[in-house]
A and B are shown apart, each in its own frame.
Chain A
Amino acid sequence: MRTLPTMLRKELLETWRTYRFLILAVVFLIFALMSPLIAKLTPDIMKMSFGKSLGIQLPKPTSVDSWTQFYKNIGQMGIFVVAIMFSGTMSQELGKGTLVNLVTKGLPRWVVVCSKYISLLLQWVVILTASFLVTWGYTAYYFPDHKTPHIFLGFLPLLVFGMFFLAVILFGSTLARNSYSGLLFTILVMGVLYLVNLFKAAQNYNPVTLIGDNMAITQGTKTLVKIAPGMAVAVAAAVLLVIGAVAVLNRQKL
Chain B
Amino acid sequence: MDDILTVQHVQKSFGSKHVLQDVDFSIPTGSIFGFVGENGAGKTTTMRMILGLEKPDKGTITVGGEPVTFGATKTNRITGYLPDVPAFYDYMTPAEYLDLCARITGIDQRRQRIAKMLDLVGLKPDKHRIRGFSRGMKQRLGIAQALLNEPRLLICDEPTSALDPAGRNEFLELLASLRGQVTVLFSTHILSDVERISDRVGILHDGRLQACDTLVNLHKQFGRSQIVLTLADGATAQRCRQALAPLAVQAQGTIVTVTYHGDYAATVSQILRALVAANIAPVSLQQENPTLEQIFLEVIGDAHAAHDA
Q: How large is the interface on A (under 10, 10 to 19, 20 to 34, 35 or more residues)?
A: 20 to 34
Additional 5 contacts, C-beta under 8 A, given A96-B87, A100-B53, A253-B53: A6-B103, A98-B87, A101-B83, A109-B71, A250-B71
Question: Within 8 Å of chain A (Cβ to Cβ): is B72?
Answer: yes
A3 to B77, CA, bound (A): 15
Structural contact, A97 and B53, CB atoms closer than 8 A: no
Structural contact, B81 and A6, CB atoms closer than 8 A: no
Question: Within 8 Å of chain A (Cβ to Cβ): is B145?
Answer: yes
Neighbour of B72 across the interface among A14, A98, A109, CB < 8 A = A109
Which residues of the partner chain B approach A106 to less than 8 Å between Cβ atoms? 72, 74, 76-77, 104-105
Structural contact, A104 and B105, CB atoms closer than 8 A: no
Contact string, A158-192, partner B, CB cutoff 8 A, digits 1/0? 00000000000000000000000000000000000
A2 to B105, CA, bound (A): 10
Question: Within 8 Å of chain A (Cβ to Cβ): is B248?
Answer: no
Which residues of the partner chain A approach B86 to less than 8 Å between Cβ atoms? 101
A108 to B74, CA, bound (A): 10
Question: Within 8 Å of chain B (Cβ to Cβ): is A10?
Answer: yes
Structural contact, A107 and B83, CB atoms closer than 8 A: no
Which residues of the partner chain B approach A236 to less than 8 Å between Cβ atoms? none
Q: Which residues of A contact B (CB under 8 A)?
A: 2-3, 6-7, 10, 13-14, 17-18, 96-98, 100-109, 250, 253-254
Structural contact, B79 and A6, CB atoms closer than 8 A: no
Which residues of the partner chain A approach B165 to less than 8 Å between Cβ atoms? none
A17 to B89, CA, bound (A): 11
Structural contact, A103 and B83, CB atoms closer than 8 A: no
Which residues of the partner chain A approach B103 to less than 8 Å between Cβ atoms? 3, 6
* Inter-chain CB contacts under 8 Å: number: 67
Which residues of the partner chain A approach B52 to less than 8 Å between Cβ atoms? 104
Q: Is the interface of B mostly helix, strand, loop or mixed?
A: loop
Nearest Cβ on chain A to B158's Cβ, whole angstroms: 15
Choose among B53, B77, B79, B104 the residue with the greatest number of A CB atoms under 10 Å from its CB. Answer: B104
A43 to B85, CA, bound (A): 60
3 shortest interchain CB distances as A-B pairs: A17-B91, A6-B103, A97-B87
Structural contact, A98 and B89, CB atoms closer than 8 A: yes
Q: Which residues of B contact A (CB under 8 A)?
A: 51-54, 71-72, 74, 76-77, 79, 81, 83, 85-89, 91-92, 96, 100-101, 103-106, 145, 149
Q: Is the interface of A mostly helix, strand, loop or mixed?
A: helix
Of chain B, the residue at the smallest CB distance from A251 is B71
Which residues of the partner chain B approach A107 to less than 8 Å between Cβ atoms? 72, 104
Which residues of the partner chain B approach A96 to less than 8 Å between Cβ atoms? 87
Structural contact, B100 and A104, CB atoms closer than 8 A: no
Which residues of the partner chain A approach B145 to less than 8 Å between Cβ atoms? 101
A6 to B110, CA, bound (A): 14
Neighbour of A104 across the interface among B79, B92, B106, CB < 8 A = B79
Of chain B, the residue at the smallest CB distance from A254 is B53
A219 to B101, CA, bound (A): 52
Structural contact, B76 and A102, CB atoms closer than 8 A: no
A124 to B76, CA, bound (A): 35
Given A13-B91, A13-B92, A101 and B106 contact (CB-CB distance below 8 Å): no
Of chain A, the residue at the smallest CB distance from B72 is A108
Which residues of the partner chain A approach B74 to less than 8 Å between Cβ atoms? 106
Nearest Cβ on chain A to B96's Cβ, whole angstroms: 8
A102 to B81, CA, bound (A): 10
Nearest Cβ on chain B to A179's Cβ, whole angstroms: 16
Structural contact, B101 and A101, CB atoms closer than 8 A: yes
Choose among B77, B87, B105 the residue with the greatest number of A CB atoms under 10 Å from its CB. Answer: B87
Choose among A100, A105, A109, A253 the residue with the greatest number of B CB atoms under 10 Å from its CB. Answer: A105
Of chain B, the residue at the smallest CB distance from A106 is B76
Ordered by A's residue number, 10 sampled pairs between the chains whose C-beta atoms are within 8 Å are A6-B100, A6-B103, A14-B91, A101-B83, A101-B87, A104-B51, A104-B81, A105-B76, A106-B105, A109-B71
Given A109-B71, A254-B53, A102 and B88 contact (CB-CB distance below 8 Å): no
Of chain A, the residue at the smallest CB distance from B96 is A13
